[in-house]
Amino acid sequence: MKLFEPLDIGGTLIRNRIMVPAMVTRLSGEDGFVNQDITNRYVRYAQGGAGLIVIEAMAVHHAKAGPLLRISDDRFIPGLAGLAQCIHDTSDSKVVPQIIHFMKVSKSGWRQTIDMLSNAEIDRIVEEFGDAVARAREAKFDGAELHSAHAYTLASFLSRTNPRKDEYGGETLEGRLRLISRIFENIRRKVGKDFPVGVRFLADEFIKDGYTVNDAKLIGLRLAQLGAAYLSLSVGGKFEDAIHLPGQVPYPYTGYSGDRCMPGDWYPAVPHAHFSAEIKAFVKAHGFNTPVATAGKISDPDDAERLLSTGAVDIIGIARGLLADPDWPHKVRQNERERIVKCDYCNVCKHLDGAHMKVVCALWPQGALQAPPDDRQSPAPGWDTTGANLTVSASDGKAVLKWNKATGAARYDVCRTDPLGKVEVMDAVKVTRWEDHNLLAGMPYCYQIRAFGAAGQGGASSNMVTVRLPVLDSEIVRFF
Amino acid sequence: MKLFEPLDIGGTLIRNRIMVPAMVTRLSGEDGFVNQDITNRYVRYAQGGAGLIVIEAMAVHHAKAGPLLRISDDRFIPGLAGLAQCIHDTSDSKVVPQIIHFMKVSKSGWRQTIDMLSNAEIDRIVEEFGDAVARAREAKFDGAELHSAHAYTLASFLSRTNPRKDEYGGETLEGRLRLISRIFENIRRKVGKDFPVGVRFLADEFIKDGYTVNDAKLIGLRLAQLGAAYLSLSVGGKFEDAIHLPGQVPYPYTGYSGDRCMPGDWYPAVPHAHFSAEIKAFVKAHGFNTPVATAGKISDPDDAERLLSTGAVDIIGIARGLLADPDWPHKVRQNERERIVKCDYCNVCKHLDGAHMKVVCALWPQGALQAPPDDRQSPAPGWDTTGANLTVSASDGKAVLKWNKATGAARYDVCRTDPLGKVEVMDAVKVTRWEDHNLLAGMPYCYQIRAFGAAGQGGASSNMVTVRLPVLDSEIVRFF
């Protein structure tokens, strides 16, 4: 599989094309130092075999924030070096920190915007990013990633809504690109050209008047010209459409752009990779082979492989899917796809982040702070002699499924066969009840439940049941 | 070309695949009666040769609104019949009215939502739609189109944000589909099965928690089952993200979903047709050959032809492009593409609607209420002996173009050749100055201006000029 071919990113070789994109964990203390919980989280990804692990955003500056890693001072280097060391000791996964600058936000809903920054403050940001990358190198990371996506400072400069009237905005693309260009130049001066520095930025802002892939192609080209080790694309996640809840700091993933950034279960799979493909094609047409990473509701290995084998992108970012199961890479490589703990895009992880709580996966065992080990000894779950006894009833426009508990089950996958014979895993649940609200009356849908153990070991499948919702108004059925 | 092949829609043959989607004109009086201006607008489309003309939304009920056509009472039939007659007398374009029910909105920003409707009120809506279609038939329209898109009543029932707890919502797809299903059943009872009734609905709501193409596929299938003559897809245009300006009635095209509904010049071309293609493929896989129409920033004939010849869709909706030039169909058919007055997606038309002003195209001659006639006699515009004298200067991250006035010019197209040699019409302007804010420093861009007459007759091209923006920081250029 192309998925397991190595790739050179700015002089560093990653062993496969699977990337853990930066995901906030809320596991650090407010002091910003690396701790054991964070170390365990990232070591777990290294055990699972991801080619590139991007450590959650760490601040290049000292601004107040909740639990957030820091790289804003030399005193953070030993902790970061320890983290990098632990990951390197675990496997040959490469690891880079995502480094971030953000503006102030307050519980009143007020937020500092980039037009409030003086030129001296901008100069300081340039220095802060350069110093942070130098620290990342000193801590023996394999590179660094500039966070120029979502709601944060660098993305706000790149934004089509950049309100500055001076040479850092001025309604021109070049103005919007000036800060990131200066930052790159300063990084090169401070740490040289041989330390890989990737950039994460938005393929589409998904806000009113925001930029589209048209601008993203030009931004990507400029970053390639500047020598970016890779381009990692995300979308949305802006403050502009955030919903402010009284007494809470605005959270940039609450609006529509937040829906797009972490598309939930009602979105189709792989909704954004075509943007990355367009950007890659554009950059390549201009003579740059800068690797391009995509992300967003990708977890089917076939989808990932298709994106790589067609040359659409070079690296597959899997955030929620790898949170659910860090062993995804090993399981795919060893042809054990059935053992993958499949993310159901319930977004409990996102909501935990929004509530400033420790980010875990709802599919992990209750109370677990990390994904369970890849246990190959425990028996697969199964139903006892009474069987699964899956039943379905149809009423009020929905189908209600119920089944028996299986011994040793950590979760149940709900599989549905639609009227055309297409089989789909609709959801993954811990309880023994599930409702289907998205079916058409008068047509047959077939369901089956499968029980899984905590490490993904697949157990027995239930009996199959079929349901056909009654047509609400008898007159309508005549026209079917 | 497939574009000019006829198509059967529910028993009516349209002569080609070009559709004028419903576009508000604000030309009617507040009385809701057809007048001469409206008649002229639609006769102009018939002259141009569109296969199917959808008359702007007319209300099925008596609720107060600004200038808006009505089909809510038999007294409107003579006027509507006259309009249909005028169109049929002009050409063999087919014509259907779009019929709409909307909820109340107030200048305070308050708006009535569908959870405020009693069951008796819902029953009345069912009757109103049935009666309106009967009137459309009596007025000798070729069919009717239910407006189940954007911010209006039917779309609010279909919405994933439908707040009703009863059988018209209840968080189930079947609940959301119940009203439109009842309406179809009632229409069939009132006007029979042989009068074509199409439906316009959303392929994607583009609002927080809104539905995506996943639901749209099922909605499309249900509408096909109900016997819809065609499915016409739009996106966005919701009240949920509308920006309320003090003292003004909310306008559902002011938010992000409004950006998507009528994508402006910063959007890529044809940003939404892939949704229509997915919906068509799904409906077809279930055994229905219901024609599917798409729309949204399509105006290049090659784009339109590709969508048809690949079987992605069956009908090409062109709204702003046909407003700018109703003769687009004839000009494409006669291989006179260069004479098309090309929409530049400036969205002045949209802003006029938002301001409740008569909707015209900014590319029409100053003060014109209709597109100019397809004048083939007037000479093409040209520069006098001093020439165009196109000049370009580069500063502050932008290129500024200036040129001389051409005799008889109604507009100038600005053509840009990018560093890869790709030629693009960047804008169409009436003035002799244009700024390019979207280019990368250090790379060569080449410009040429072409003057056009009011009916699209192409005149002389200017000299060509090339510009290369200086790189802002001399240090950066080293890394290019």
pLDDT tens figures, B233-268: 999 999 999 999 999 999 999 999 999 999 999 999
pLDDT of residue A210: 98
Over 80: is that where the pLDDT of B474 sits? Answer: no
Q: How far is CA A61 from CA A73, A151, B112, in A?
A: 8, 16, 48
Report the 10 Å Cβ neighbour count for A131.
21
pLDDT of residue A166: 96
Residue B58 in contact with residue B71, Cβ under 8 Å? yes
The token duo for B413 is 């197209």
The alpha-carbon radius of gyration of chain A (Å, integer) is 23
Would you give the DSSP letter of residue B269?
S
A6-36 pLDDT, tens digit per residue, is 999 999 999 999 999 999 999 988 899 999 9
With cut-offs at 50, 70 and 90, classify the pLDDT of residue B473.
low
Average pLDDT of the residues in A410-428: 95
Q: If we measure between CA atoms, which residue out of A476, A34, A330 comes closest to residue B179?
A: A476
pTM score: 0.96
Mean of per-residue pLDDT scores for chain A: 95
DSSP, collapsed to helix, strand or coil, labels residue A439 as: coil
Q: Which ranges in chain B are annotated with CATH 3.20.20.70? A: 2-354
pLDDT of residue B476: 52
B 215-254: CB under 8 A from A:
215, 218, 221-222, 225-227, 241, 243
Q: Name the closest residue on chain A to residue B172, using Cα atoms.
A: A437
The answer to whether the CB atoms of B174 and A207 lie below 8 A apart is no
Distance, in Å, from the CA atom of B91 to the CA atom of B405, rounded to the nearest integer, reads 38
A423-437 pLDDT, tens digit per residue, is 999 999 999 999 999
Average pLDDT of the residues in B449-477: 85
| Architecture, CATH, for domain A2-354 | Alpha-Beta Barrel (3.20)
Over 80: is that where the pLDDT of A477 sits? Answer: no
Over 80: is that where the pLDDT of B475 sits? Answer: no
Over 90: is that where the pLDDT of A348 sits? Answer: yes
Over 80: is that where the pLDDT of B405 sits? Answer: yes
Residue written as tokens 């067609």? A310
With cut-offs at 50, 70 and 90, classify the pLDDT of residue B375.
confident
Q: Which residues of B touch A122 (CB under 8 A)?
A: none
With cut-offs at 50, 70 and 90, classify the pLDDT of residue B94.
very high
Residue written as tokens 């349901």? A467
Distance, in Å, from the CA atom of B341 to the CA atom of B48, rounded to the nearest integer, reads 13
| Residue count (chain B) | 480
Q: Is the dihedral of CA A346, A347, A352, A355 positive or negative?
A: negative
The answer to whether the CB atoms of A174 and B397 lie below 8 A apart is yes
A323-344 pLDDT, tens digit per residue, is 999 999 999 999 999 999 999 9
Residue B448 in contact with residue B462, Cβ under 8 Å? yes
Residue A298 in contact with residue A322, Cβ under 8 Å? no
CATH tag, A391-477? 2.60.40.10
Distance, in Å, from the CA atom of A329 to the CA atom of A327, rounded to the nearest integer, reads 6
The answer to whether the CB atoms of A437 and B479 lie below 8 A apart is no
A198-212 pLDDT, tens digit per residue, is 999 999 999 999 999
Over 90: is that where the pLDDT of B67 sits? Answer: no
A264-287 pLDDT, tens digit per residue, is 999 999 999 999 999 999 999 999
Mean of per-residue pLDDT scores for chain B: 95
| Residue count (chain A) | 480
At residue A46's C-alpha, the angle toward residues A40 and A52, to 5°, is: 125
Average pLDDT of the residues in B48-58: 98
Q: Which ranges in chain B are annotated with CATH 2.60.40.10? A: 391-477
Over 50: is that where the pLDDT of B477 sits? Answer: no
DSSP, collapsed to helix, strand or coil, labels residue A419 as: coil
With cut-offs at 50, 70 and 90, classify the pLDDT of residue B321.
very high
Q: Provide the ipTM.
A: 0.96
Average pLDDT of the residues in B353-373: 95
Average pLDDT of the residues in B460-477: 81
With cut-offs at 50, 70 and 90, classify the pLDDT of residue B480.
very low
A459-468 pLDDT, tens digit per residue, is 889 999 999 9
Average pLDDT of the residues in A50-73: 94
The token duo for A422 is 């297409």
pLDDT of residue A473: 61
The answer to whether the CB atoms of A476 and B226 lie below 8 A apart is yes
DSSP, collapsed to helix, strand or coil, labels residue B295 as: coil
Interface contact B161, partner A, CB < 8 A: no
Phi–psi pair at B461, nearest 5 degrees: -100, 150
Q: Which residues of B touch A182 (CB under 8 A)?
A: 473, 476
Average pLDDT of the residues in A127-148: 98
Interface contact B165, partner A, CB < 8 A: no
pLDDT of residue B472: 66
Type of residue found at A209:
D
pLDDT of residue B479: 46
The token duo for A359 is 């980010």
Best of A350, A476, A478 to disrupt the B interface by mutation (most B CBs within 10 Å)? A476
pLDDT of residue B29: 81
pLDDT of residue A478: 46
DSSP assignments along B349-415, one per residue? HHHHHHTT-----TTSPTT-SSPPP--SSSPPPB--TT----EEEEETTEEEEE----BT-SEEEEE
pLDDT of residue B65: 82
B97-154 pLDDT, tens digit per residue, is 999 999 999 999 999 999 999 999 999 999 999 999 999 999 999 999 999 999 999 9
B 370-429: CB under 8 A from A:
396-398, 419-420
Over 60: is that where the pLDDT of A242 sits? Answer: yes
Helix H segments across A344-422? 348-354
Instruction: Report the share of chain B in percent with pLDDT over 90.
Output: 91
With cut-offs at 50, 70 and 90, classify the pLDDT of residue B478.
very low
Over 70: is that where the pLDDT of A472 sits? Answer: no
Report the 10 Å Cβ neighbour count for A285.
13
Average pLDDT of the residues in B424-442: 96
Type of residue found at B259:
D
Of A181, A221, A440, the CB nearest to B473: A181
With cut-offs at 50, 70 and 90, classify the pLDDT of residue A113.
very high
The answer to whether the CB atoms of B259 and A174 lie below 8 A apart is no
Distance, in Å, from the CA atom of B170 to the CA atom of A173, rounded to the nearest integer, reads 47
Q: How far is CA A164 from CA A226, A240, A358, B149, B441, in A?
A: 23, 16, 36, 37, 19
Per DSSP bridges, beta strands B69-70 and B52-59 are parallel
Interface contact A92, partner B, CB < 8 A: no
Report the 10 Å Cβ neighbour count for A421.
7
